[in-house]
């Protein structure tokens, strides 16, 4: 019998009160393994009220004391890493090793956030004017919220929550209803680490919960990761309600292959970056752009050989390269995208539709698909597919390849493989994309740099993690201070200057 999950509000699990639930599947078997409650606006309001009260105490703690809670949290995650990874794998469908990587990338941001005492320092100018000092303070916003996707149920919640908490805010997480168990477990670990009850809450839900967070004046900022249409909606709605927002959407990441590149290295990179986690990554490489016909033909042959050798199966099975997609609807959507590409003229080198895994016939599986001779006018090139589909779009020249990546409406990540330093330097300087890899297939920045795409991949001025996160989750107060000697000066009607 499927278990019933809860919300986590005020330091305790709370049963859902709305009467509405969503099914949580085991993607490897296709069976329902849990039901998750979908919060009403009233339940979201309760979480906000609890967070508002708890934040007053948490925000008064000095940054070093808050950092100690994060240090203890890291110890607890390390203690429970295997349990968390298996829980993540069972609900999401990514392999166990990939699940551990999901957790690790979140942990690295928490490690960075332990430096909050330094990151929250303001500035000080003595003698800015006669007897005048000017200094700035970074102060928490209050209550903030994160709306996070299914594809990284540990990493992205920690990317959002870590800087927010370290800066002294209370944080409300609205995770994906498709795999909510890891976020709920993280809430328990934060509480065990010493975070005051109510400072970190998990409210499961759908659009009703999202709209309640957007409309409530007590929520000062919203962070989101998901599809571009929803990112645009949340960004615009948050702005209309006077909130800060950082919203990250879809992607169509290109990997440009120059004729001088090591094609075996490129093929291995594309296989991992294109099909890892069943392609359900916003930084997955979904377009290979070989320059020149000879490069394209050789690369296509190497990719075809490697695709045929990929192992697809249950997420916890050893030796599996990638597991199932998140839902049956996802399989149907990606399958339809493949068919549309074929109908528009793409050449099929591998077709993963119809894959059946023995003993798991009802699982949400889709084999690796490789399409060649894909052109920019095809939907399979323009649209984010979010599945195990890699397309080859051939370029006649370096300039054409550069233009393909730069002109696409998405600008999340891009990579180039070459042995020529001049080409790589020119590419990184000119390409109109937010994150660039040079002989690196998935250019996700390390925790102390920022993560964020351009164009329709990102909305907002500040990115995730790194110093930008602390700027996003704090407000700057600037103080101009003077201690006069007591001599009467009389009123002045001239605007103050520092002469």
- CATH of residue 21: 3.40.605.10
Q: 75 and 155 share a domain?
A: yes
Q: 470 and 425 share a domain?
A: no
| Single pTM value for the model | 0.95
Q: 328 and 364 share a domain?
A: yes
Does 247 qualify as catalytic in the annotation? no
Structure confidence by residue, pLDDT tens digits, 85-126: 999 999 999 999 999 999 999 999 999 999 999 999 999 999
Structure confidence by residue, pLDDT tens digits, 349-401: 999 999 999 999 999 999 999 999 999 999 999 999 999 999 999 999 999 99
* Residue span of the structural domain in which 97 resides: 3-249+457-479
Q: With a cut of 90, say whether residue 262 has pLDDT above it.
A: yes
Q: 243 and 282 share a domain?
A: no
pLDDT given for residue 223 in this prediction: 97
Q: 205 and 119 share a domain?
A: yes
Q: With a cut of 90, say whether residue 487 has pLDDT above it.
A: no
Residue 282 has a CB neighbour count (10 Å cut-off) of 25
We report the CATH number of the domain holding residue 417 as 3.40.309.10
pLDDT given for residue 416 in this prediction: 98
Tokens of 292: 């020149």
CA 395 to chain centre: 30
* N residues, the chain: 499
Does residue 305 lie in a domain region? yes
Q: 37 and 185 share a domain?
A: yes
pLDDT band at 78 (very low <50, low <70, confident <90, very high): very high
Does residue 128 lie in a domain region? yes
Strand spans (E) along 51-117: none
Does residue 487 lie in a domain region? no
Q: 111 and 31 share a domain?
A: yes
Tokens of 241: 């309600």
Q: 224 and 280 share a domain?
A: no
CA distance 481 to 134: 6
CA distance 475 to 472: 8
Residue pair 191/164 in contact by the 8 Å Cβ criterion: no
Q: 144 and 257 share a domain?
A: no
Residue pair 355/366 in contact by the 8 Å Cβ criterion: yes
Q: 230 and 286 share a domain?
A: no
- Kindly name the residue from 141, 147, 282, 390 that is annotated as catalytic: 282
Does residue 447 lie in a domain region? no
Does residue 81 lie in a domain region? yes
Task: Tell me which residue has tokens 């001088």.
Answer: 260
CA distance 378 to 387: 17
Does residue 178 lie in a domain region? yes
Does residue 446 lie in a domain region? no
Percent of the chain with pLDDT over 70: 99
Mean pLDDT of 263-279: 98
Q: 226 and 357 share a domain?
A: no
* Nearest C-alpha neighbor of 156 from the set 147, 167, 168: 147
Q: With a cut of 70, say whether residue 459 has pLDDT above it.
A: yes
Does residue 493 lie in a domain region? no
Q: 22 and 169 share a domain?
A: yes
| Tally of structural domains, the chain | 2
Structure confidence by residue, pLDDT tens digits, 193-235: 999 999 999 999 999 999 999 999 999 999 999 999 999 999 9
Mean pLDDT of 402-416: 98
């Amino acid at each position: 019998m499927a278990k019933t999950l809860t919300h986590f509000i005020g330091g305790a699990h709370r049963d859902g009160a709305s009467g509405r639930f969503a099914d949580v599947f085991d993607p490897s078997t296709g069976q329902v393994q849990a039901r998750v409650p979908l919060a009403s606006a009233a339940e979201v309001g309760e979480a906000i009220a609890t967070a508002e009260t708890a934040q007053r105490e948490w925000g008064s703690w000095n940054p070093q004391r808050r950092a100690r809670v994060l240090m203890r949290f890291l110890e607890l995650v390390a203690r429970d890493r295997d349990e968390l990874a298996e829980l993540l794998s069972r609900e999401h469908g990514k392999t166990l090793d990939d699940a551990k990587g999901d957790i690790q990338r979140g942990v690295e941001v928490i490690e960075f956030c332990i430096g909050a005492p330094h990151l929250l320092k303001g500035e000080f100018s003595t003698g800015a004017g006669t007897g005048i000092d000017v200094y700035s303070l970074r102060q928490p916003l209050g209550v903030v919220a994160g709306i996070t996707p299914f594809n990284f149920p540990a990493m992205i919640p920690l990317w959002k929550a870590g800087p927010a908490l370290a800066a002294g805010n209370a944080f409300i997480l609205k995770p994906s209803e498709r795999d909510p168990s890891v976020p709920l477990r993280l809430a328990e670990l934060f509480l065990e680490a010493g975070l005051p009850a109510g400072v970190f809450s998990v409210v499961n839900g759908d659009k009703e919960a999202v709209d309640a967070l957007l409309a409530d004046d007590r929520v000062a900022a919203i962070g989101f990761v998901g599809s571009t249409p929803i990112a645009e909606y949340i960004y615009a709605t948050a702005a209309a309600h006077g909130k800060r927002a950082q919203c990250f959407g879809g992607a169509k990441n290109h990997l440009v292959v120059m004729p001088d590149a090591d094609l075996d290295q490129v093929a291995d990179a594309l296989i991992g970056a294109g099909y890892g986690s069943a392609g359900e990554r916003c930084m997955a490489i979904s377009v290979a752009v070989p320059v020149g016909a000879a490069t394209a033909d050789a690369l296509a042959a190497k990719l075809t050989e490697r695709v045929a050798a990929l192992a697809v199966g249950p997420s916890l099975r050893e030796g599996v390269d990638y597991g199932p997609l998140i839902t049956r609807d996802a399989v149907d959507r990606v399958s339809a995208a493949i068919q549309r590409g074929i109908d528009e003229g793409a050449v099929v080198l591998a077709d993963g539709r119809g894959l059946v895994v023995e003993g798991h016939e009802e699982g949400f599986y889709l084999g690796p698909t490789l399409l060649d001779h894909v052109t920019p006018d095809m939907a399979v090139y323009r649209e984010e597919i979010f599945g195990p589909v890699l397309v080859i779009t051939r370029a006649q020249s370096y300039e054409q390849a550069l233009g393909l990546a730069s002109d696409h409406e998405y600008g999340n990540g891009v990579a180039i493989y070459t042995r020529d330093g001049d080409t790589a330097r020119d590419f990184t300087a000119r390409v109109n994309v937010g994150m660039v890899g040079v002989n690196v297939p998935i250019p996700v920045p390390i925790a102390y740099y920022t993560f964020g795409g351009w164009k329709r991949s990102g909305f907002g001025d500040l990115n995730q993690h790194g110093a930008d996160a602390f700027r996003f989750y704090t407000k700057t107060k600037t103080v101009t201070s003077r201690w006069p000697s007591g001599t009467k000066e009389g009123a002045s009607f001239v605007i103050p200057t520092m002469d």
